[in-house]
Amino acid sequence: MDRLRRQLIRPTGTVRWSVDQQARVCQLLADQLTSGFSLKQAVGFLHATDYRLPASLAQVSEQLAAGAALVPCLKPYLQPNVYFQLQLTTRYGELAPALASAATLLRLMATQRQRLRQLLAYPLGLLGGMALLLGTLQWAILPQLQSSLAPQTSRELPHWPVVIGLVGGTGLVVGVWALRWWWRQPILKRAAGILRWPLIGRIFQAYYAYYLTANLCQLVQSGLSVRQMLVVLQRLPQGALLQQLATVLAAQLRRGELPVGWLRRQSYIPPQLILLLQKGSTTAQLGRELNAYSDLQYQELVRRSERGLAWVQPILLTLVALLIVGAYLHLLLPLYQNLQGVYV
């Protein structure tokens, strides 16, 4: 029987759900649990009644029937940051509010991804049409014109595709190397570094503020002491931001150091959060303050992401305009000069 249970719990051939599906599953489960359904009843009801949900929800239902906990069953299907948040909050808090909070963040991600795709459609269509036009000129029309102009002029048309290919290939190699180097860095260093990136840095700053505050709020409301919180956070997977943060703080406390100065130097930790922790409020009051501040940071995250998306289309259209000017200077202008040489 134990062997059968292990086989049921082990996911095979799983595919992560789309962000929209993740948000829908989390929200519906939260609603069903709030309405009085048991966990097994809620998952079975959703699988039987909502055809828009992923078919792999049946596997989750089987794993629950085998005695598994919900959050580990959802691990292969959820975003890593959402899974870490659920794993943390459900251990010392209620499952329904944790699922509702995860659904809120996932809905924001799904909405912004949809908006980004809509904003990219027109500029990318222009880029595709321009690439088709320039390819036709370079490999279909210009070779014929060049051969007809060759007896009358010695001026050669520029080989700009070769130059662009070399530059693009070099850029691709450098980009792949830089990306691999980036992912080898510790998560705390990546979190601090990404805040310096243009356009998206402020968005991630608001996200980290919301993510850290929301999780800390759950831990405070559970009544844990600081050392107990650090022990809980260190049990998270090693790639989690909260796990790395707890490891550093625990090491400083073991050495007898006060971590406040180090926390203030971390750009991904909002100074308002440190002020709230230093106020000396009661546990209940601190929990309410952290909850209110996390709501404010979520609103700030929405505002900054909307502002960032508003820049996407102008930047891409400017890039298209620059490429058109570059194509004229490197391709059509020399052709025009060659034609002038024929008729002079």
Asked whether residue 103 is domain-assigned, the answer is no
Residue-wise pLDDT tens digits, 116-151: 888 888 888 888 887 787 777 777 776 776 666 555
> What's the pLDDT at 128?
83
Instruction: State pTM to two decimals.
Output: 0.75
* Separation of alpha carbons 134 and 113, rounded Å: 31
In angstroms, rounded to a whole number, what is the distance separating the alpha carbons of residues 279 and 265? 19
Count of domains for the chain: 2
Q: Average pLDDT over the chain, rounded to whole?
A: 83
CA distance 187 to 134: 43
Residue 92 domain flag: no
More confident residue, 15 or 185: 185
- One domain, residues 208 and 293: yes
Which range marks the domain in which residue 25 is found?
A: 2-78
Q: Are 38 and 100 in contact (CB under 8 A)?
A: no
Residues 69 and 180 in one domain: no
- Cβ neighbours of 269 (radius 10 Å): 20
pLDDT in tens, 66-113: 988 898 999 999 988 888 888 877 776 678 888 998 999 899 989 988
Query: Do 45 and 166 belong to one domain?
Result: no
- Tell me the one-letter amino acid at 211: Y
Structural element, H or E, at residue 223: none
Residues 61 and 193 reside in one and the same domain: no
Q: Which amino acid makes up residue 254?
A: R
In a domain, 95, yes or no: no
Residue the block writes with tokens 């971590």 = 259
| Sequence-ordered list of residues with C-beta below 8 angstroms from that of 331, at least 6 positions apart, any chain | 134, 137, 138, 142, 157, 158, 160
For residues 148 and 338, is the Cβ–Cβ distance under 8 A? no
Residues 190 and 326 in one domain: yes
Q: Which of 231, 229, 232 is nearest to 290 (CA)?
A: 229
Which residue among 45, 60, 78 closes a domain?
78
| Rounded-to-integer distance, Cα 85 and Cα 92, Å | 12
Same-domain check for residues 182 and 263: yes
Mapping DSSP onto H, E and C, the string for 303-321 reads HHHHHHHHHHHHHHHHHHH
Instruction: Please indicate, yes or no, if residue 151 is contained in any of the structural domains.
Output: no
Asked if residue 205 is part of any domain, the answer here is yes
* Domain-embedded: residue 86: no
Nearest to 322 by CA among 127, 183, 51: 127
Query: Residue 311's closest CA among 23, 119, 139, 97?
Result: 119
What's the rounded Cα separation, in Å, for the pair 298 and 304? Answer: 10
Measured distance CA(29)–CA(22) in Å, rounded: 11
pLDDT tens digits for range 220-276: 888 888 888 898 888 888 878 999 999 999 999 999 888 888 999 999 999 999 999
111 domain-assigned: no
